[in-house]
Structure 1
Amino acid sequence: MDLPLTYEFQGWNIQYDLKKSRNTTVLNQAQAKCVVFVHGTPWSSVVFKPIVEALLAKGSYHVLVYDLPGYGQSQEYNPDSSAATSKADFPGDTSVKFQATALAELLRHVKLDGKDSNPAPAIIAHDIAGTIVLRAHLLHDCNFDTMLMAESNCVLPWGDGFYKLARSEPQTFVKLPPKVFEATVRAVIQSACHDVRVLKAGWEDALAQPWIFSDGDEVGDRQRSFVRQIAQADDGDVSEMLEKELYARVRCDVKIVWGEQDQWIPRARIEETIGKLGSRVKQTAFIPDAGHLVMLDKPERFAIEVLDWLVNFGTSECSTSE
C-alpha cells in the first residue's frame, strides 16, 4: 500500500496517506466519517489494505493510514536529528510510549486529534496498537469518536516464548545469518494465521518484505529494525496506565474483536482487557476459525464487524471536540 506523504518526527520519516472514499463529493465531504488505522507488531499498514479498500468503495469515508516509526515504509531514521532518541542500545525509539507520542503528533499534524475544532476520528487498532491508542487518548488527550480494538492485549504480561527470548537476547537475533533470520520472520508470520493457506496468496511475502534484506539496503539494517521493536518493548508503558486505573477514564465507546484461534493472545487477556475498560465496551466479536491476523483469516467477517461498528457507534460523520 503506497504511503506517499511524509511527517518528520524526532528523527523518523513517518510515511502516511490520507485517502477519500470514491463516493465522496464536494457536497458530502464535510459529512464524511474519519477513520484512522493503527497497526501492531511486527506488521505494517498493509494488513489493513483489504478493509481500507472496502471502506473507500463502500461509502463516504476519510481514511488515515500510516506505518509506525521503525516499521514498514517508516524505517528511515536520521540519528543526527536534534530531536533523535535511542533506547535499549538501538538508535531510534520504537517503544509503545514513543509510538503513542508519535501518533498524537501525527493526528495533530493532519488535524484529526479531536482538539481545537479538529474532527475526532473513529480509530481501529490491531495488536499493540490498542495500547498505543489508549496512551494517545488517556495521556496525550487525543479525542476519538469511537475505538475498535482487534487482537489487542492491553494488560500484562506481553508476548509468547519467542518474543520473550528475543527481548532478553536481542543481539543474538541481530547476528543471525540473513537466511536463518528470514526463516524466523516467516515462522512468526505463519504463527499469526490460523489458516496458513491464506499466506500463500502473497500475504506472507508482503508481511515479511519490510524486514528482509533487498538490493540497495545496508546489510543487517532491516534485521536490526525487526529486533529493535522487540528489544524496546517496555512493560512500564502498560503498567503506568494500569496502576493509575486510567482505562476507566476512556471517553468513547469501544468494540473488541478477537480471533478464537489466536495463538498469540489468549482469551483470558482479552477478557481482562474488557474488564478494565468496563462499561465503555459496547460490543464484542469473537470470530471462529481466525487467528491473530483476523483481518486476513476472515476478511469478509472482519469487514462486516468494522462496517457494523462504524454505522452503529459514534457519530455518522467526523465529529468535533467540545
Structure 2
Amino acid sequence: MSYPTHLTSLYRLPAHTFPGPEGKTDDLPAADSRAWRIASDVYDGEEEWTAAFARFCDTVDTTRVKALIVGAWEGAYDTDPSDVIEALLAAKDRFPALRALFLGDMESEECEISWINQTDVTPLLEGFPELEELGVRGGSGLRLSAVRHEALRRLVLESGGLPADVVRGVGGSDLPALEHLDLWLGTPEYGGDSEAADLEPLLSGGRLPKLRHLALRNSEMQDAVAAAVASAPVVARLEVLDLSMGVLTDEGAAALLGGQPLTHLKKLDLHHHYLSEPLLDRLRGTLEPAGVEVDLDRDGVDEDVDEDDGTVWRWVAVGE
C-alpha cells in the first residue's frame, strides 16, 4: 500500500507552509513566488483552519497569491471542510490572481485518505471562474455537480474510492480548456462505486476538446477501464494515458493492445500492475519501438493466494 504525501509544488510553484500562531511572519517569501499551504491540526490544534486563513489574509499580499494549498483542518476524520470553503469564497475578491487550489493536502499520519471528509466542491469552481487547477484529496462525502468552467486546465481527484456521482459530474461538465484529468477511482470498500459505463462521457471526449493527459487509476476495476479505453475516441488526441496504481491484469492489457493504436502517445503509465512477463514483453515490443515511454514498474504490488480455495487477492496502490 502506498500513501499520499504533502504536495511539494502547485502551479509550478514550490509549496511553502504559512507559519502557525507562534511562528515568525516577518520574513516570508514573496506572495507570488510560492504555493501557500495553510493548515491546522487534525487532533489537537491550537488554531482552527479559518483562523489561520484569516491571519494569512492579514499578513500576505493576497492580491498576488497564485496558488493555495488547504492542508489539515480540525477533525478532518469526521468534519467536512464546509467552513473552509465558505471562508475561501468569502475572501474570493481578495485573491484576483488565484489560479490553483488544492483541498485536503494531508498525509496518513494526519488523516488516512479514505477518512478525509469532503463536501460539495462545485462552489469553488463557480466562485473562482479564473481557476486553472483544482485538486481534491479524499472521497468520503465528496460531491461535484456538472458545471461549465472556461478556464480550468487541470483537475485532480485523489481518493481510495471516488463516488460514482462525482465521476458522472465530471463527465457531464463542459471543460473546454481542460488538458489534464486525473481520477483515482478506488474500490467499493472505500466508496468507489462507479462502473466503466460511468466513464463513457469522459472517454467520448466531446466536452474535453483540449484533453491531452488522462489518468483513470487506482482502480479495482482496472481491466474494465482498460477495455473501455481501448476503443475510446478521446485516446486519439492524448499524449499521456495513465492506467496505473490499480488491479490491471493480462485481461485488461490484452484488451488495450487489441484496441486502437497507442503508438502516438508520449507515455503510457501502467505502474503498479499484475501483468505476466509475456504481456509485458508485448507492451514493450509494440510501443517502445515507436518511441512511447512505458512505465511498467511493479514496486509496491501486493498479491496473496488463499491456500484453501486458491482465491487470488490483489490491491490498488492507495486504499485506506
Give me the TM-score of the superposition, normalised by structure 1.
0.31
**Which structure features the higher share of helix residues?**
1
Structure number with larger C-alpha Rg: 2
User: Does 1 or 2 have the higher relative contact order (CA < 8 Å, sep 6+)?
Assistant: 1
Give me the TM-score of the superposition, normalised by structure 2.
0.32
